[in-house]
Amino acid sequence: MQASPVLVSSDDLYLFNTGQLFRAYRTFGAHPMEYEGCRGVRFVLWAPSAREVSVVGDFNGWSSASRPVNLAQVGTTGVWVGFSPDLNEGDRYKYEIVNAGGERLLKSDPFGFQSELRPNTASVVASLNHYDWQDRDWIDNRRKHPPYEKPMLIYEVHLASWRMDAPEQLRSYEQLAQELVDYVCSMGYTHIEVMPITEHPLDRSWGYQTTGYYAATSRYGPAEGLKKLIDRCHQQGIGVLLDWVCGHFCKDDHGLRLFDGSPLYENSDYRRAEKPLWGTLAFDFGKPQVLSFLLSNALFWLDVYHIDGLRVDAVASMLDLNFDKPESMRTENRYGGTEDIEALAFLRKLNETVFLHYPESLMMAEDSSSYPAVTSPTYLGGLGFNYKWNMGWMNDMLRYMETDPSHRSSYHSLITFSLHYAFSENYVLPLSHDEVVHGKRSMLNKMPGTYEEKFANLRLFYGYWMTHPGKKLLFMGGEFGQFDEWKDYAGLDWSLLQFPLHDSMQRYVRALNHIYLNNGELWERDHEQGGFEWIDVNNAPQCMLSFQRNGKSAESSTVSVCNFSRETHSIYRIGVSNQGHYRLILNSDEAEYGGGGYSFPSRVASQPTPFHGKPYSIEVPVPALSFQLWKSETA
C-alpha cells in the first residue's frame, strides 16, 4: 500500500476545503488507475478528526489487522490518500476509521460510485466510463431550445412500484428502458421525473433517506442499466429529471452520521442538525467541504448520467431553521431571525453552479413556503431556480375537488385565487406522490359522488389543470384512475384497465396530453400575464368557470369551460374575443371517455353579441361535471 500526497493535486485540496471543488467526485472516492506503472485503486477521503484510516474488504477479511491498507493524511488538509494494487474494479470495500477516542468505525465511501444490494452496505470499486452514449442529438437540441416556451408534461415515477409482478420482483433499469419509455411516449409525456435513485438502505423511505449520494441504487441492476434507461429516453425525445435530496441524510451507522467520530457532515449543534419530522440529520451548509460535496453531486448526475435537471426536495425545510421542530430545539440566525442563512447561500450557489455548466438545465424547487423570488435570478436577490412547484394551487384545488358539488359554490375562491399569483414565479402544477399516500386516497378516490361521478370529476379536474398556466406533473397511476392510494411495496393496479371507466380515463388523459402538446396557446406564454384571460370568473352560484389562453399570435386562443356542478345547461352563453368559428377540440363528457355522451356541435359560430366583457359570444351545451375546450379558428 502506497500513501503519497502526490496522488492528489494541492489545488484540488485547496478548492475542496474552500467549497469550490465543483467536480470533487473526480478526486475523491475510489478510482481505478495506474500509478508508477502499477494498476490499482486510488482512495481519497475527507476525515479530519480521524486518527487512522484504512481500507478493508474481502481481500483482508474486513479488518486492517490483516494485510493493512492504510491511508495517509495530506498535511493539515483533513484529507486521507492512498493507492492499493491489491484492489480492482468490482471489489467491495469500506473505510475503517479510528476516531479521536480510539473507537473503530466501518463506513461506506461518501463518494462511492456503486453500492452492494441492500441489506449489505459496502461500497464497490467502479469506473464511470463503461457506457457509450447515443444521445448527442438530444443534448445538442436541449442546448438550443430552452424550456420556458415549450410544453412540459412530467410523469413522476417510483421505479420499484411502477410495475411489479410480485413482491421484491423489481424491474431492472434495462427492462424499464423498454417498457417505461414506450409507455411514456405513447401517453404523450415530455419528461420523466424519477423519485430518488441514490443508494438508500430502506425501501420504504422511497429513496429520500440516502447513504450513497454518488451511487445509483443497485436495486435495479448495474449503473450502466440506468444510463441505458436515460439514453433511450433521450433518443425517444423524453427528458429525465432526478428527485434530489440535498437537505438531509439518514442516520444509519455506515453512512454520513458522525463520519469520523465527529459531526462532520452535520452541524455540531444537535438543534440545528436534527430533523425530528423525518428522523434524519441536516447537512451543515456552513462547512465549505460539505458545499464541495453537494455541489459536485449535482454536477455528477448531470455529467455522468446526462440527467436533464433536478427537482430539489424539501426546500421549505431547508429555508427555516425551526421547520417542524419543537420549542426546545428552536434556534435563531446571527440576525435574530429563523431563516437558515447558510442554506439560502447554498441554494443560490447550487443554481449558479449548475447553470454555469448546464444553462439549459431544469432546476425545480419543491417548496411549500411563501419565500419570495424562488425562480428569480440570484443577481436580483432570488434563489435562482427556474421552476417552483405550486403547492398552494395544489392544496386549494384538491380541497375544492374533494368538496361535494352541492357545496362548492361556497368555496369558489379556491379555484380562482391562484391567478392572483400565477405569474409571480415560474410554476409547475404538481399532482405528486405525496398527495396519494398516508390515507390521503388516490386522485380518483378523492373525488366525491357516485362511481361514475368520481370519474367525471377527475376528467373535469384534469382538464382545468391542463389548461391552467404552468407546467404539469402527474404521479403514475393517476392517468388511469388508480383507485387505491399508492402502495410503494406493490405495483400499480394495471388490471383496472380491463374495466371500461379506467380504460376510458387512460384514453382521456392520453388525448388531453396530446391536445396540450399540439396547441401552443396552452404553454407558449405560461409565464406571461397576457397568456391568460378570465372570461367568467365570478359565477360561484352555478360553480361555472371559463377562461381564455392566448398564444404568440394575436388571434391564437382557446376557451376552457368548466362546470363543477351537477346541473346540465342545454344552452350556455360564453363571451369570446374573436369573430368566426370555434371548434370543439375536447369534451370530457364524450362517451369514448366514459362520459354521458351529451350531443355536441363540433363547431359553433361566434355571434356579435357582447358578453362577459368580450365583443362576441358563443352558445354551447354544458353537461354536468364537465370540461370542454374550444379553439378559435381565426388563428
| pLDDT tens digit sequence for 486-516 | 999 999 999 999 999 999 999 999 999 999 9
- In 512-602 the beta strands, taken as DSSP E runs, fall at 532-536, 544-550, 557-563, 569-576, 581-587
- Tell me which of 2.40.420.20, 3.40.50.10140, 3.20.20.70, 2.60.40.10 is the CATH number of domain 5-124: 2.60.40.10
The residues assigned a catalytic role are: 313, 366
Residue 94 has pLDDT above 50, yes or no: yes
Cα–Cα distance between 117 and 128 in angstroms, integer? 18
Contact between 348 and 384 (Cβ < 8 Å): yes
What pLDDT is attached to residue 340? 97
Residue 5 — very low, low, confident or very high, per pLDDT cuts 50/70/90? very low
Its CATH class, for the domain covering 136-522, is alpha beta
- In 404-501 the beta strands, taken as DSSP E runs, fall at 427-431, 471-475
What pLDDT is attached to residue 66? 81
Q: Specify the DSSP element, H or E, that contains 212.
A: strand 212-216
Residue 161 has pLDDT above 90, yes or no: yes
> What residues does CATH 2.60.40.10 cover in the chain?
5-124
Q: Give the three-state DSSP class for 601.
A: coil
Residue 519 — very low, low, confident or very high, per pLDDT cuts 50/70/90? very high
**Single-letter code of the amino acid located at 127:** S
Residue 523 has pLDDT above 80, yes or no: yes
Q: Who's near 82: CB < 8 A, 6+ residues apart?
A: 1, 2, 3, 7, 42, 43, 55, 69, 70, 71, 72
What pLDDT is attached to residue 190? 98
Residue 67 has pLDDT above 90, yes or no: no
Q: Give the three-state DSSP class for 246.
A: coil
Q: What DSSP state is assigned to residue 406?
A: G
> What residues does CATH 2.60.40.1180 cover in the chain?
531-632
Q: Nearest-5° angle of CA 301, CA 304, CA 308?
A: 50
Q: Give the three-state DSSP class for 577.
A: coil
What pLDDT is attached to residue 20? 97
| pLDDT tens digit sequence for 469-492 | 999 999 999 999 999 999 999 999
Contact between 79 and 16 (Cβ < 8 Å): yes
Q: Who's near 1: CB < 8 A, 6+ residues apart?
A: 68, 69, 70, 82, 83, 84, 86
As a whole number of angstroms, the longest Cα–Cα distance in the chain is 92
Cα–Cα distance between 430 and 387 in angstroms, integer? 12
> What residues does CATH 3.20.20.80 cover in the chain?
136-522
Cα–Cα distance between 631 and 558 in angstroms, integer? 4
| pLDDT tens digit sequence for 410-424 | 999 999 999 999 999
C-alpha cell of residue 540: 360561484
What pLDDT is attached to residue 1? 44
What pLDDT is attached to residue 21? 98
| Terminal C-alpha separation, the chain | 74
Residue 208 has pLDDT above 90, yes or no: yes
For the domain 531-632, what is the CATH superfamily, name and number? Golgi alpha-mannosidase II (2.60.40.1180)
What pLDDT is attached to residue 6? 59
Cα–Cα distance between 506 and 493 in angstroms, integer? 13
Q: Specify the DSSP element, H or E, that contains 5.
A: none
Q: Who's near 361: CB < 8 A, 6+ residues apart?
A: 302, 308, 309, 310, 354, 355, 386
- Work out the average pLDDT over 528-555: 95
Residue 635 — very low, low, confident or very high, per pLDDT cuts 50/70/90? very low
Residue 165 — very low, low, confident or very high, per pLDDT cuts 50/70/90? confident
Residue 555 — very low, low, confident or very high, per pLDDT cuts 50/70/90? confident
**Least confident range of 124-128, 220-224, 385-389, 630-634:** 630-634
C-alpha cell of residue 347: 441554494
Residue 552: Cβ within 10 Å count: 12
Residue 7 — very low, low, confident or very high, per pLDDT cuts 50/70/90? confident
Residue 27 has pLDDT above 90, yes or no: yes
Percentage of the chain with pLDDT > 90? 93
Cα–Cα distance between 216 and 174 in angstroms, integer? 14
Residue 1: Cβ within 10 Å count: 18
Residue 99 has pLDDT above 80, yes or no: yes
Residue 354 has pLDDT above 60, yes or no: yes
What pLDDT is attached to residue 14? 97
Residue 4 has pLDDT above 80, yes or no: no
Residue 19 has pLDDT above 70, yes or no: yes
Residue 201 has pLDDT above 70, yes or no: yes
